[in-house]
Amino acid sequence: MIDVPFLPSSCFHAFRRAFIDAVSVSAHTRRNRGSLENLRVCVFPVGSNVMRVLHLVNKLTYGGILRHVEDLTDGMKRHGVETHLAAWVPQGHSLLQRRNFLYLPLYNHSGRRKSILGALHSARVLRETLRRENIDVLHMHSRYVTMIGSAASLAHTARVYTVHSLFSDLGMLPWYPHHVICPNEATRDSFTNNVRASHNCDITVVRHGIQLPSLRTANADGENEILYVGRLVPEKGVDVLLRAYALLPEHIQHTIRLRIVGDGPERVPLEELSRSSASVGQVHFEGYDADPTRFMCHALALVFPSKELDSLGYVNLEAFACGLPVIASDLPQLREVLDHGKAGLLFRPGDVKALASALEYATKHVAEMRRFGRHARAFVEREHSMDSMIDGTLEVYHRAVARSKSRESAKEKTG
């Protein structure tokens, strides 16, 4: 990602003024703005004495952030929290059918380019929703929407930001909220070291929770597959995995399949690469699957070959919960949880030969890989329970709401 210079607060306030001005645009004008005419405004059910949280995400197709938000939503219900979701999604996505979902035109039709006009309208609609539904907490899940959310927020709205990935750019932006959640220490350290305003933030480590399948489905017999689960995009390194698999001895390729579960813009090029470099019959592209854990019960290992800074990877926790070891790129946030030699193997990011060596080692040391899997299962049971995630997140919400009310009260007294 391109590193950008510090944006002065005047830029932020100019953006804020621009979208506030958009509130006065007539309904007729709004209806005739091309790609924005399908803007979906959802009227949420309003309760009486409940905390209302709106999760704001830039883009949702499928993947870890969506599953994380859904886990938070399910867990919060047990505590009487009313939870809603706002994001851009592609046409026909199942989220569009949910009554607690607000579509935001943050991107163009394909989802590949950000829309400036769409951002202005998204901020306006988001602000109207926050006011109308009296949202207590705006929980943001990407850097892009921290700008949208901060511009749209009302004085009484508490703001929380979860840092889902490491980054070294955009650290000079002035609108990160006071309350920040990080899923692990590596992400916290990255945020602290790279974000200029982090010294003013209340940063809390809340580990992602994961649903635990029954042990009888974990590590079932027939571990004859190497598994990848995730989006098919360049930064995920699936091409590295395919090339590494092609380097394995033929007898291993004939006995150990490579299964790719996921979809994305790189699927066709990756399928062509698999045909030209590996045993065609042993590489299977499954496409997107809403329940990837069903493939984990008969896999030898999950491979997470990201080339660059990435999130912890929700799929890694899913694999751990199934008792499945992980072979992953040696990145800080993965190193912290993988604990090389205990729950899986690490290799140098982007190194095809290093990954091939790790794959061959796994195929020759099945008993050791099973031991790694047992250690992985114990790790998520201990460190990544759903209850701990819900309780930790709720604690941050309550602090954020209390701070927001205190600041609003102080402003009223001085005003």
The model's pLDDT over 376-389, given as tens digits with 9 standing for 90+, comes to: 999 999 999 999 99
pLDDT digits (tens, 9 = 90+) for 272-282: 999 887 565 58
Q: Residue 27: which pLDDT band, with cuts at 50, 70 and 90?
A: very low
Tell me what pLDDT residue 172 has.
Answer: 67
* 327 part of a folded domain: yes
* 36 part of a folded domain: yes
Tell me what pLDDT residue 409 has.
Answer: 74
pLDDT digits (tens, 9 = 90+) for 39-50: 444 444 444 568
Q: How many structural domains does the chain have?
A: 2
Q: Is residue 150 domain-shared with residue 38, that is, in the same domain?
A: yes
Q: Is residue 264 domain-shared with residue 406, that is, in the same domain?
A: no
* 121 part of a folded domain: yes
Q: What is the bridge-based pairing of β-strands 225-229 and 202-205? A: unpaired
Q: Is residue 45 domain-shared with residue 164, that is, in the same domain?
A: yes
Q: Is residue 152 domain-shared with residue 193, that is, in the same domain?
A: yes
Tell me what pLDDT residue 199 has.
Answer: 86
pTM of the model: 0.79
Q: Is residue 89 domain-shared with residue 189, that is, in the same domain?
A: yes
Whether the predicted pLDDT of 255 surpasses 50: yes
Q: Is residue 47 domain-shared with residue 151, that is, in the same domain?
A: yes
Higher pLDDT, 334 or 14: 334
* 286 part of a folded domain: yes
Q: Is residue 242 domain-shared with residue 371, that is, in the same domain?
A: yes
Q: Is residue 279 domain-shared with residue 199, that is, in the same domain?
A: no
Q: Residue 99: which pLDDT band, with cuts at 50, 70 and 90?
A: confident
Q: What is the CATH number of the domain that holds 310?
A: 3.40.50.2000
Helix axes 143-152, 116-132, angle to 10 degrees: 50
Do the beta carbons of residue 349 and residue 306 sit within 8 Å? yes
Tell me what pLDDT residue 346 has.
Answer: 95
Three-class SS of the chain: CCCCCCCCHHHHHHHHHHHHHHCCCCHHHHHCCHHHCCCCCCCCCCCCCCCEEEEEEEECCCCHHHHHHHHHHHHHHCCCCEEEEEEECCCCCHHHHCCCEEECCCECCCCCCECHHHHHHHHHHHHHHHHHCCCCEEEECCHHHHHHHHHHCCCCCEEEEECCCCCCCCCCCCCCCCEEEECCHHHHHHHHHHCHHHHHCEEEECCCCCCCCCHHHCCCCCCCEEEEECCCCHHHCHHHHHHHHHHCCHHHHHHCEEEEEECCCCHHHHHHHHHHHCCHHHEEEEECCCCCHHHHCCCCEEEECCCCCCCCCHHHHHHHHCCCCEEEECCHHHHHHHCCCCCEEEECCCCHHHHHHHHHHHHHCHHHHHHHHHHHHHHHHHHCCHHHHHHHHHHHHHHHHHHHHHHHHHHHHHC
* Rg over CA atoms, the chain: 23
Higher pLDDT, 297 or 173: 297
A 10 A CB-CB count for 405 gives: 13
Q: In terms of C-beta density within 10 A (0-12 exposed, 13-18 middle, 19 or more buried), how is residue 236 classed? A: buried
- By percentage, how much of the chain surpasses pLDDT 70? 81
Tokens representing residue 317 in the block: 């926790």
State the number of CA atoms in the 13 A half-sphere of 271 facing the CB. Answer: 12
pLDDT digits (tens, 9 = 90+) for 63-82: 778 889 999 999 999 999 99
Q: Is residue 135 domain-shared with residue 190, that is, in the same domain?
A: yes
* 188 part of a folded domain: yes
The amino acid that residue 220 corresponds to is: A
Tell me what pLDDT residue 333 has.
Answer: 75
* 3 part of a folded domain: no
- Residue among 180, 135, 182, 142 nearest 160 (CA): 180
pLDDT digits (tens, 9 = 90+) for 289-342: 888 888 998 899 999 999 876 667 889 999 999 999 999 999 877 887 777 668
Higher pLDDT, 315 or 62: 315
Tell me what pLDDT residue 38 has.
Answer: 42
Tell me what pLDDT residue 39 has.
Answer: 42
Q: Residue 222: which pLDDT band, with cuts at 50, 70 and 90?
A: low
| Separation of alpha carbons 87 and 298, rounded Å | 35
Q: Is residue 199 domain-shared with residue 325, that is, in the same domain?
A: no
Higher pLDDT, 353 or 7: 353
* 4 part of a folded domain: no
Instruction: Give the range among 34-48, 177-191, 236-250 with minimum mean pLDDT.
Output: 34-48
Q: Is residue 224 domain-shared with residue 325, that is, in the same domain?
A: yes
Whether the predicted pLDDT of 36 surpasses 50: no
Residues 6+ away with beta carbon under 8 Å from 392: 181, 204, 206, 207
Residue 55: strand pairing partners: 85, 139
| Order of all β-strands in the sheet with 82-88 | 101-103, 82-88, 52-59, 137-140, 158-162, 179-182, 202-205
Q: Is residue 104 domain-shared with residue 223, that is, in the same domain?
A: no
- Residue among 397, 297, 379, 367 nearest 338 (CA): 379
Name the residue range of residue 357's domain. Answer: 215-383
